[in-house]
Every structure is written in C-alpha cells, then in structure tokens.
Structure 1
Amino acid sequence: MRKPSVLIIDDEKNLVSSLIFSLEEEGMTVTAAYTGKDGLAAIETKTPDIVLLDLKLPDQSGFDILDIIKTMPAPPTTIMISAHGDTRAAVEAVKKGAQDYITKPFDLDELILLILRNHKHRQLSEEVAYRREREADTHGLIGTSDAMRTLLQQVERIGKSSARTILLQGPSGSGKTIIAKALHSVRDKRAPFISVNCASLPENLLEAELFGAEKGAYTGADKRRTGLVELANGGTLFLDEIGELPLPLQAKLLTFLETHRFRAVGGHTEIEADIRVIAASNRDLQAEAQSGSFREDLFYRLNVMPLSLPSLAERREDIPQLVADFSADLALHEGCSPITIPPETMALLCEYQWPGNIRELRNTIERLTILHAGEVIAPARLPPEVAGSAKTQVTEDSGTGAGDAEGDNVLASEMAKREAECIRQALLQSRGRKGEAASSLGISRHALKRRMQKLGLTGEDF
C-alpha cells in the first residue's frame, strides 16, 4: 500500500516538529501549517491524503476549516485533534464530516495506526468506485477471457436489437441475472426492469403475480392487483427459472408473447404491454420440450435470440479478476480491510471446478473476508473442497497415496505448475504490466517478482 501524504494543521510547533519526524520515519510525506488560512492553501497546493486538523487554531476554528474542506471536489481524509477534555467537540466534528478524531496527549503508535487505517479505507473506497465505474462501462460483466469477450459482444448486439424475446441458458450461479440486467441497460436503463423467479412462488399465485387480478377474482382479492407484466410496460420482464412455469400458464405466456395482450385473472378487458421478455433456465429446455415437460411452441418462441452462459470452469482466467473485485467490494461492505490472496492460494482457486460457479466463488470470498479480514489467505484457510481439489487430482493422476512422500513431491510440483500458470494468465491479461498483474493476484509487485524468480518466469513472453 502506498504510504499517505499528511498535512498537519496545528499551532503547537514543538508537537508538529515531533510529528513530522515520526511520520516521515514511517515513510509518509509530511507538511505543516500553523494557521487555518495556511492550512487551506496547503490543501489546494499539496493535495494531501490525510489532514490532521486541530480544533483550536489562532485565526479560526477547526470547525470552520472542516466546513470548507467538505465543499472541496476531492476532500482529503480529515482526522480532528482535540485537547484533553474536548472529546465531545471531537465527536461533534466527526458528525460534521471528519473521518476520525484523537485527543491530546495521544500515543504516537495509536496516531500512526489511525492514519494508516483511514488511508487504507480511503484507498479501498476509491478502488471500489473505480471498479464500479469500469463495470458500468461493461454492464457489470467482469472478465477478459475469450468467453467473456464473446458474451459481452453478444450482449451489446442483442441488447441494442429489436428482439422481443431472449433466452438465457447456463448453469446455476453463472450470472444470468447480471446478463439480463446488462441486456436491459444496453437498450434503456431508465425503463423498468421487473424480475421474478418462477420457482419461488406457489403455482396458484403465479398467474396473478404475472398478469394481475381483478377485485374478487379469488379469496382475499379485496382490490385490483397489478401484475408484473403490466408493471414492466415499456421495459423488461425477466423470468428466471422459466422451466418451473406450470404448463397451463405457459400457454397464457405464449399467447401474450404472440399478441402482446393479456387479461388479468378474473378480468374481461384485454390489456396491452410493450415489453421485452428475457427468460432464463439452468435446464435444457429443448430436451424438456421434446419430452413434453415444457411446451415446444413456447420454447421456440423464446429461443428467437438464445444466449449460452459459460460456467466458471470454462473461464478460469477470469478468476483472479473476480476475486480482486469481490475482495474489494465485500471489504468495503463489511467495513474491514480486504483479504490478500497469494499466488499459491490463487492457483487453487483457479484449479477448483466451482460447481456453484460465480455465486459459489463470491460466497467463498465473503466467508474468508468475514473470518480473516485483512489477512493473507494461506491455502489451508480455503474451504476443504477447494483446498483439497489439487491434491485429489494429483493423487488420481499419480496413483500414490496422499501421505506418500512421492505423492507429496508430485503435489508440490503440480502446485508450482498451477501457480506459474496463474501468474502467466495475470501477466497476459495485463499485457506484461507487473503492477497490474500483481494487483489482480492480490499481492505486491515485489512479491510477484520474487514468485516469478522462484518459478523461473522471466516475463519476456508477456
């Protein structure tokens, strides 16, 4: 982590001199101002990461300075310094926009930790904001593998097209909801996007949920109910797990897709809705249509514009980037420091089959973030099924027992190969830029260079 630049605004010159010496010893860049006016000028010219702001200054109050800092386009992180007994004022400063406070006399180590913690949180927030801005440009689709590039191109083309029905098929947890939202946002993100999981509602309520119901249509219908189809008018209706739709309701949906008109339950008047329908399933709907468990005519009506989503195992080179994004996002959500994934652990993550796909990977990173915030995740801390996947594979390939010395040597060799491959993929994705590759792997640039030397990777091919 880059050490922060610090501006001290305090009129106690002996204290300031001591702080400058101590903070520079920690590798920080430090400047000082002894009045509020000079402090504001220094913020404009030096653009510090952290401001240590005393509450009482000779020319104006620290509160006045704080009010001005808050109006700046990219305000620095502000830590208030208060005298002994002014804790209430310091807390009030935090309410007014300061990120933290400390009271005099303070322990120097405590102040350094306070500065580093706030700086790390700021960097993490900026990283997440950057990632979200980048993801907005790619509709939240993370990855640079060939499979993801192809999928993104298809999303752009199909999303902009006039196609009224789109069918997404892919394994559970592969991101069908994200793709549906991406297809919607390409067309018009301001229009309504209505989503329903067809497997989550009782069969007797599903028709009313989709098409609405008139007052008195069934027991408990004491007023007219607007259905999701009507609510989605002008936008997109996403029908997840459409294979769970009962056959009688499949017929009504088919009629709507062909006419764009429907009747609410208990209604007699036809209602028109101009919507795009995106359906999704993790089952082979064509096979089910042939067997009679899904209407064949509805399948072909939905299958006008099919999109197949790859499993995570089919796009392993995207795993380091997904891990980095999940780690940063979840750490910010939990209010903690992100975990660090060293290459040997990343190699295991890249090797595992991930039967639950992206959802399982995110859940794994969330669990590690909560249990081991800010820590380096050794292979032993991974879930047993992930940590044991490489050893199981090596045992099968080598024909030796897990405790056998030869098997252990084979395992170590195989782990090194997988770690090297993980680093190669990161370098290829970053086009040889080691800093970017190290960031995607969750390690420092120096750590990456050490691992490359150990594994015999020169970087000449990237």
Structure 2
Amino acid sequence: MTSQENKVQSLSGTPTTSLPAVSVLIVDDEPGMRNFLVKALAKRFALVESADSIETAEEIRKRCHFDLLICDIKLPGRSGIEWHEAIRESERRSDIIFMTAYADLETAIEALRAGASDFILKPFRLEQMTTAIDRCLERRLLARENFVLRREVNSVFSSGSAMLGESPAIKDVDEIIRRVAPTPSAVLIEGESGTGKELAARALHQYSGRSGAFVPVNCGAIAAEILESELFGHTKGAFTGAQKARDGLFTFANGGTLFLDEIGEMPLGMQAKLLRVLELKAVRPVGGEQEVSVDVRIVAATNRNLEEEVKEGRFREDLYYRLNVLTLTLPPLRDRSEDISTLVHNFSRKLSQELGLPPVPFAHEDLQAMAKYSWPGNIRELKNFVERCILLGRLPIDSFPESHKVREISSPLPLQERGFPDDWPLDEVEKHHILQVLAAYQGNKSAAARQLGISRKTLDRKLQAWDETRPE
C-alpha cells in the first residue's frame, strides 16, 4: 500500500449513505490510488470503474454513461484538463472532480474553467473526497429536479393560461396571477386542500421572469427543530451532526421564488426569524456570524384562515401583514364544475402516458355525473379518480359517496322492456338490441359500447355493416 493510500485510509471517516443509482469512473495512472478509491466508493455506489488513461476511459464511456468522473490532471498522454470529450459533451454531461499533486493557483483556475465540478489536492483524506462527491450529487439532483419542474410547468403553460379552465372564477385567478407575477411583492395563496395552490405559485414564478429557481418547502412536513437550518442553512459544527456547512433553501432560491406551503404550520419562534429575513432581505446560517443578502420572492400558501389564527395567537400578526400584500383565493372544484371536462381530459392524456396504459373514453354523461359530484378533495381527488379509471380500464362512477353528491347522479337510461319475436334470427336480435342501447344513450357510441361490453371499433364496424350512422 502506498504512502498516499495510508494517509487517505488512516484519516477516512464513516461512509455516508449509500447512493446505488450513481455510477463513477476513476481515472488515475497510479494503481494504488485507483484500487483504493474503487474499493472505498464501491460501498456507496452501484457501479465504480477505473482507467489509467484518458484513452482507456473513453473506451469505457462508449459502453456506459457515468454520472461522476474522478480524474487526475497529470496523466500519460493527454492530461485531465484536455479530456474534451467529457468536458464539452452536452447530451451526456458528467460531473468531474479533478485531482492533482502538482497544483498551483493557475492550474486550479484552469481546471475550473475547463468545467470541473470540484478540485482536490493530493494527498487528501477520504472525507474530503466524499464531501466533494456529495456536493456534486446534490447540485446534480437539484438541477434534475429543476429541469423536470420546468418541463412540467412549461407543458401546463403552453396553452397560454396560468390556470387550466374556462370558469369565471379561475379566469379571475389567471388574470391576477398575470398582473402581479412580474412584481417582487409577496403573495399569500388561500384555498382548500387540493385546489392547486402550488400550481398557482409555480405560475407566479413562471410569469415573473425571475432567473432563479422555484423552490417549494412544506412548512408542516419539516420538524420544528430543523426548520431554521433547512431555510437558512448552517455552518459546520453548528449543532450535533452538522459535519459540514450547508446552504439553506433561501440560498437555493436566490434570484427566484421560495414557496412556503402550509405557512400556518410554522412554529411561532420560527415566524419571528422569518419576519426578520423578509425585512432585511438577508439570512444568517445557524451557527454563523455574518448575514448573507438574498433576493427571493416569497409566495406562501395555507388552507387555514390566518386571520383567525392571528386572533387565536397561533400566528404572528406582523408576519401575517408582511405576507398578505396580496391574497389569491383559489376556488374549490365544486364552484367551477364547468372546468371538470377540461381537467379530466388533461389528466387523462398525461396519466395514460405516464402509466403506459390506454386512456379511458369519457362520455358526455360521464362528465355530467362528475360535474354533479362535490369533490371534497378538489383537483387532487379528481386527478386520483382519473388515474384509478385508467388503471381499471373503466369508470367507477358508482363509487362516489352519496354524502358528497351535490345532486343525485342519474343512472344509465333504462332500456325498453320488451322481448323479440321467437322467429327472429340471432343477427336480427343483436342488431335491434344494439340500436336500442344506442338510442337509449342518445347516440353516444362510447357510452353504448361500454354498456354492451364491446369496443367502440366493434360497434362502428357493426353499424357500418348495417349502414347505420349515428351522431356522437
């Protein structure tokens, strides 16, 4: 074992949490260093491979993509900084940590300009390497999440509307969002659970033109004792378990929007600290001495009546007025039933793609039945219902609880109760029965096909054979 390995191993800490989905490629011309890093990192990652040169590394990369490359700068042949295939590749970009025992300031600057995610001097401790890896993976995860969120948001806003629907209530919400989005003012979004408060917050960010990220945080889902650290960050050693410094969500949202969901769940002590940050536009990490300026637009949301919470002493009055520059109230789904058809078809299209299953055809009377239901869980309940329909391949409308029906959902139209003459051939009985069911459903082929237990295509084929045409 080399002296470098002895130093690394003797000072190594406990391996951090396993991350099995990550692949790592180590490039170093020293066999001892390669073997040590492979052995140490194989405990954390599903795939760890090594190479002794850029040329060998490129051969390995042709058959497998690696999330992280750990590369020595001084190598036989091309140096790590000259590894243009990995550095400049845009479609399969990997994070790169450069290592070197011969570094000076100029080399470090050159490595960072080349696209290095981090830079480590040899000899190093394993703890330094794992810390650098964690930083890379955290940034990569955040970048992936932001990409997915932007794609989802862009798909929603491609229709040109901030909120999906044509009802007067949602049109008013859409107009307010577009008007206030470009301003830096705080917005308080109120509404029942499941009405789309986070979607409205994303719309405010989307139309704000802010270059930073949209960072959501559920104040009720984070333990009170760590909420301050999550929001403002902490320094190394600030509390037990703080083995390294960490930025808070305010820092991640710098230049963008911080969405404080369920703000009514925030403890009173934390409310006072949040108020100070909003007033000074600066955060002080837990354990830190200096404040760091931040440019963050605050959007808060709650399903509680904060005015009543203030009267009961459960929410600070000064923070309430600081957040309540503008209140955006989202209507419950029962008050915008005319939007159900649009929402159902939108959910059906997206969910069928995600699940890899064919969409369920929704007949006019199906949508009418949905419009008569009160949807106590609002849009979230509607989306879950559509997903259940796709999974079952049918519409379990009879599963709606009676207590939540606004009006009684009508059952399928009754068919005439009559038989057919005994001397009719079977084909003639089938034809008259199908036409009778089609008439009962007022020509709706999709609904009639479901009632008959056949596909829409089969029904169309039979009608064509009988030279029968019926309206949709």
Change beyond 3 A, Cα 1:156–1:389: same
Moved over 4 A (4+): 131-134, 386-390, 392-395, 448-451
Structure 2 runs not aligned, ≥5 long? 1-150, 415-440, 445-459, 464-468
Partner in structure 1 of residue 423 of structure 2:
none
Shifted more, 319-328 versus 138-147: the winner is 138-147
Contact 1:139 1:182 in 2 (8 A): no
Change beyond 3 A, Cα 1:318–1:132: farther
CA distance in 2, matches of 1:357, 1:265: 39
Say how many residue pairs are matched.
270
Change beyond 3 A, Cα 1:259–1:336: same
- Give the C-alpha shift of residue 301 in structure 1: 0.6
Question: Does 2:277 align with 1:262?
Answer: no
- Give the C-alpha shift of residue 149 in structure 1: 1.0
Change beyond 3 A, Cα 1:269–1:389: closer
Partner in structure 2 of residue 426 of structure 1:
none
Amino acid aligned to 1:136: S
User: SS of 1:307's equivalent?
Assistant: strand
Question: Does 2:190 align with 1:169?
Answer: yes
Return the index of the structure with the highest Cα Rg.
2
Change beyond 3 A, Cα 1:316–1:393: closer
Question: Does 2:188 align with 1:157?
Answer: no
For residues 198-257 of structure 1, the C-alpha deviation after alignment (integer angstroms, 9 at most, x for no partner) is 011111111100011111111000111100011111111000000010000000001111
Change beyond 3 A, Cα 1:367–1:214: same
User: SS of 1:278's equivalent?
Assistant: strand
- Give the C-alpha shift of residue 178 in structure 1: 0.5
If each structure's helix is expressed as a fraction of its own residues, which one has the higher value?
1
Partner in structure 2 of residue 103 of structure 1:
none
Partner in structure 1 of residue 261 of structure 2:
240
Contact 2:162 2:177 in 1 (8 A): no
CA distance in 2, matches of 1:268, 1:197: 27
Partner in structure 1 of residue 158 of structure 2:
136
User: SS of 1:178's equivalent?
Assistant: helix
CA RMSD of aligned residues (A): 3.1
What TM-score do the two structures reach when normalised by structure 2? 0.53
CA distance in 2, matches of 1:189, 1:275: 9
CA distance in 2, matches of 1:316, 1:339: 20
Contact 2:376 2:404 in 1 (8 A): no
Pick the aligned partner of 2:338 from 281, 302, 317: 317
- Give the C-alpha shift of residue 137 in structure 1: 4.2
Partner in structure 1 of residue 233 of structure 2:
212
Question: Does 2:209 align with 1:194?
Answer: no
Partner in structure 2 of residue 299 of structure 1:
320
Contact 1:139 1:185 in 2 (8 A): no
User: SS of 2:300's equivalent?
Assistant: strand
Contact 2:215 2:259 in 1 (8 A): yes
Contact 1:349 1:386 in 2 (8 A): no
Amino acid aligned to 2:397: L
Amino acid aligned to 2:399: P
Question: Does 2:405 align with 1:384?
Answer: no
Question: Does 2:294 align with 1:279?
Answer: no
CA distance in 2, matches of 1:369, 1:193: 31
What TM-score do the two structures reach when normalised by structure 1? 0.54
CA distance in 1, matches of 2:276, 2:243: 28
Amino acid aligned to 2:177: V
Structure 1 runs not aligned, ≥5 long? 1-128, 396-401, 406-418, 424-443, 452-462
- Give the C-alpha shift of residue 341 in structure 1: 1.2
- Give the C-alpha shift of residue 345 in structure 1: 1.7
- Once the two structures are aligned, what percentage of the paired residues are identical? 41
- Give the C-alpha shift of residue 138 in structure 1: 3.3
CA distance in 2, matches of 1:162, 1:334: 39
CA distance in 2, matches of 1:172, 1:192: 24
Contact 2:236 2:243 in 1 (8 A): yes
Partner in structure 2 of residue 344 of structure 1:
365
User: SS of 1:188's equivalent?
Assistant: coil
Alignment of 1:108-123 (within 5 A): none
- Give the C-alpha shift of residue 382 in structure 1: 2.2
Amino acid aligned to 1:143: G
